[in-house]
Amino acid sequence: MLFGRKKKNPIKIADKGVVEWKYATCGYCSTGCSIEVGLNAEGEPVSSRGVADADVNRGKLCLKGIFEHEIFASAGRGLKPKRRDHWYEAWQDTDWDSALDESYAGIRRIQEKYGLDAFAIISTGQMLTEEFYTLGKLTRGLIGTNNYDGNTTLCMASAVSGYKRSFGSDGPPGCYEDFEHTDCLIAWGSNLPEQHPIIYWRMKNAQENRPFPLVVVDPRVTMLAQNADIHLPITPGTDVVLQNALMHVIFAENLQDDDYIEKNTNGIEALREEVANYDPTCAAKICGIDEDTIRVVARLFANAPAAMQIWTMGINQSTHGSDGVVGINNLALITGNIGKPGGTSLSITGQCNAMGTREWSSCSGLPGYRYLENEQDRRDMADFWNIDIDILPTKRGMFQTDIYRAIETGEIKGLWLIATNPLSSLPNVGRVRKAMEKLEFCIVQDCYEDSESNQYANVFLPAGTWAEKNGVMTNTERRVNLITPLTAPPGEAKADLWIFNQMAKRFNAQNKVTFPDNAADVFLEMAALSRGRLGDISGMNHALIEKSRGIQWPYTEKQVKNNEVPPTGGKRLYTQPASFRYADGRAKLIPLPFIDNNEVPDEAYPVWLNTGRLIEHWHGRTKTGKVTNNNKFSPIPFIEINPDLAQELGVQRGEYVRLVSRRSDAVVMATPTQRVPKNMVFLPFHFHDCANRLTLGLLDPHSRQPAYKQSAVRIEKISDQQAAARLSMEMRTF
Ligand code: SF4
């Protein structure tokens, strides 16, 4: 007789007829998983699998990665260049030369009439690094506008700003391997299992092999909080208070690492003076964490031989985002937890190539973490690119979030949007929509023509996506990994690098500046420029990167020649004493007084609105909303609502409710759960015309990143549930 599993039929995996597997790096999140896409005999992508010998994911992929091959043939792809005189008119098909000529003429017309900076350019974290670098060269060296930014301002700007303020440079100092060495982990506003599932798997695997306490700071009982040893359900927007209170305890109980502080930092006296004001008894009343727990966590962290902190948008998307990052760095520095195995402060990046844009796009400065404010850096780049130094501004221009306000006021008249969709992703989208209507000329370059922002374009340039192109991306742990082209862009769509190079020809009449045609050559140009910089990639090339399944920087020519670095690159930054990027090599300890400047719940809008991501979807669902399995698992906008609040309001599970903020309203389905407290709802931000109708998005003063996670709403019952269901269906479509 057969029992148990033996009675069951074996699982059959459908034969997709794969004849060849091609290498790439996942194009969704910043984890940076190595992926192979299977092509059938017709050369069509039909399957995806993780790469077994890749250090990042070791053969695994998450729900997004395993269906990634479906995006190539998804609906709404842009197939032809298009044009129209006014955004409210019908599109006309055109050819590439005409579309590029019209784009060039439109940019120059605005600049001649209103000045160089009246035309703004906003890109993304989704393109490949060679494309970012080329766009930066074109923008800084030839077009000459200083109002150039990426949508990374919406996700990573606070991390960048905080690293620069603390260490003198951007650049995450740690790596995933640190999970295998740490003795204590604090996760600030980071829900790894849903946002970065494979990093979560690495963390959990490390914890099972070598147990360490996990402390999760998050207002929600997220999946990560459910796995925590200690969960700190903090009051939204008060991270800095908790950080100061933890430091207060560390100093009061003499748990700091005096030797490390003395050799590696400046500013200890001012920091001590500030945190003296944050006695846990008082801090508890602001941040909502009881004083005993604050003391326990401070001792746990400071007494651990190696202690690590990670964070994501819960820290960055706040009016104190940059301060929150500095607070994390302060905690790491006073306990000697930077640059050693298991001791680090590691920002978990958002988009697949947010790091590539930070390193090479020239948005906030110049390539390779050079500064516009530094004359030598400007001179070096002017010489290298063969441009006039005077075209380079002496300080960075507007951030993306300020560009839309400048469109409102008429300071900016023209816009080129590249692979980004502000009408989905910016807070208070109603205001952004009105601003876009005021533009005199707008170019949208995107792989999808049905993005909301394309409604306001005069010229549409259809681009390739992800592995229709060739180039590299950098992940959260500074690992540069390769994408090889698996298939061609559809219809007449072209790779972004081709589009930038064709545009450059029109601005480069004297042919002074060179623009290599292929990504491998662009990479070698970047590698040459990186020599001697923090992010030195001079020992890398495309072939080596693929062979090693990704290489972490720094990875220098000299190290390679002298066999001083493993084939997968350098794991950590700041491993030597006083090796930070300030002139004296010392990191800054910066005091952080807390100013309560968020929108908070009141009588009219009594509930916190917290927004975030789901495992099934990616950002505005432009891609995952069209991938069958991803959309099937999470098709409509919903809120998590505490069952006590739902009962008080008379709202049943599955009923639609109306969320109302001071900006606008949205209809969502109610899902009662204890994951949120009674005074908060959680709303995934992925759905069309939904979460960002409500958000206020006050800006961080340093990073200009919006506070997406701290708004106030009220909840209204809806009597006509059928009408609400129809409205909800509209929000799921494009
Ligand atoms: Fe892609 Fe991120 Fe999932 Fe890895 S964890 S497969 S990089 S979405």
Tokens representing 43 are: 């050369």
**Is the pLDDT reported for residue 519 higher than 90?**
yes
Residue among 37, 66, 198, 477 to mutate when testing ligand 1 (max atoms within 8 A of CB) = 198
Model pLDDT, residue 152: 83
| Residue minimizing CA distance to atom 2 of ligand 1 | 29
**Is the pLDDT reported for residue 31 higher than 80?**
yes
Residue 353 alpha carbon to ligand 1 centre in Å: 12
**Is the pLDDT reported for residue 3 higher than 70?**
no
How far is residue 446 from each of residues 46, 122, 417, measured CA to CA in Å? 23, 12, 8
Q: Which residues contact 517 (CB under 8 A, 6 or more apart)?
A: 501
| Cβ of residue 64 lying under 6 Å from some atom of ligand 1 | yes
Average pLDDT over residues 489-503: 98
Model pLDDT, residue 2: 46
Residue with tokens 């180039």: 471
For the chain, give the mean pLDDT: 94
Model pLDDT, residue 252: 98
Average pLDDT over residues 579-604: 95
| Residue minimizing CA distance to atom 3 of ligand 1 | 62
Tokens representing 62 are: 């998450």
Angle between helices 321-334 and 157-167 (to 10 degrees): 40
Q: What percent of the chain has pLDDT over 70?
A: 98
Residue among 25, 30, 31, 466 to mutate when testing ligand 1 (max atoms within 8 A of CB) = 31
Q: Which residues contact 655 (CB under 8 A, 6 or more apart)?
A: 669, 670, 717, 718, 721
The number of the ligand 1 atom at minimal distance from the alpha carbon of 196 is 5
pTM: 0.94
Q: 20-73: what CATH class?
A: alpha beta
Model pLDDT, residue 566: 87
Torsion of CA 431, 436, 438, 442, to 10 degrees: 170
Where in the chain do CATH 3.40.228.10 domains reside? 157-347
Strand pairing category for 551-552 and 479-483: antiparallel
Residue 481 alpha carbon to ligand 1 centre in Å: 13
Residue 198 alpha carbon to ligand 1 centre in Å: 6
Residue 551 alpha carbon to ligand 1 centre in Å: 17
Where in the chain do CATH 3.30.200.210 domains reside? 20-73
Where in the chain do CATH 2.40.40.20 domains reside? 607-732
Residue pair 114/148 in contact by the 8 Å Cβ criterion? no
Residue with tokens 């975030």: 612
**Is the pLDDT reported for residue 12 higher than 80?**
no
Residue pair 427/700 in contact by the 8 Å Cβ criterion? no
The number of the ligand 1 atom at minimal distance from the alpha carbon of 63 is 3
**Secondary structure of 610-622 in HEC code, one letter for each residue:** EEECCCCCCCCCC
Higher pLDDT residue, 440 or 12? Answer: 440
Task: List the CATH code of the domain at 82-145+355-561.
Answer: 3.40.50.740
Residue 25 alpha carbon to ligand 1 centre in Å: 9
Residue with tokens 């001083």: 564
| Cβ of residue 51 lying under 6 Å from some atom of ligand 1 | no
| Cβ of residue 33 lying under 6 Å from some atom of ligand 1 | yes
**Cα dihedral sign for 116, 119, 125, 128?**
negative
The number of the ligand 1 atom at minimal distance from the alpha carbon of 65 is 6
Residue 352 alpha carbon to ligand 1 centre in Å: 9
Considering the segment(s) 607-732 as one domain, its CATH architecture is Beta Barrel (2.40)
Nearest-Å Rg of the Cα atoms of the chain is 25
| Cβ of residue 31 lying under 6 Å from some atom of ligand 1 | yes
* 484 burial via Cβ count (<10 Å: 0-12, 13-18, 19+): middle
Tokens representing 573 are: 């930054």
**Is the pLDDT reported for residue 595 higher than 60?**
yes
- How sure is the predictor about 4, in pLDDT bands with cuts at 50, 70 and 90? low
Q: What percent of the chain has pLDDT over 90?
A: 86
Task: List the CATH code of the domain at 157-347.
Answer: 3.40.228.10
Q: What residues pair up with 569 in beta bridges, in sequence order? A: 552
Q: How many CB atoms are located within 10 Å of the residue 413 CB?
A: 21
Q: What residues pair up with 459 in beta bridges, in sequence order? A: 83, 443
Tokens representing 443 are: 């170019």
Q: Which helix (H) or strand (E) holds 681?
A: strand 680-684
Residue among 57, 58, 190 to mutate when testing ligand 1 (max atoms within 8 A of CB) = 57
- How sure is the predictor about 43, in pLDDT bands with cuts at 50, 70 and 90? very high
| Cβ of residue 198 lying under 6 Å from some atom of ligand 1 | yes
Residue 184 CA to residue 189 CA, distance in Å, equals 16
Residue 64 alpha carbon to ligand 1 centre in Å: 6
The number of the ligand 1 atom at minimal distance from the alpha carbon of 352 is 7
| Cβ of residue 28 lying under 6 Å from some atom of ligand 1 | yes
Look up residue 141 and give its DSSP letter: I
Average pLDDT over residues 325-336: 98
Model pLDDT, residue 5: 55
**Is the pLDDT reported for residue 94 higher than 70?**
yes
The number of angstroms, rounded, from the C-alpha of 617 to the middle of its chain's C-alpha atoms is 14
**Is the pLDDT reported for residue 734 higher than 50?**
no
Higher pLDDT residue, 624 or 119? Answer: 119
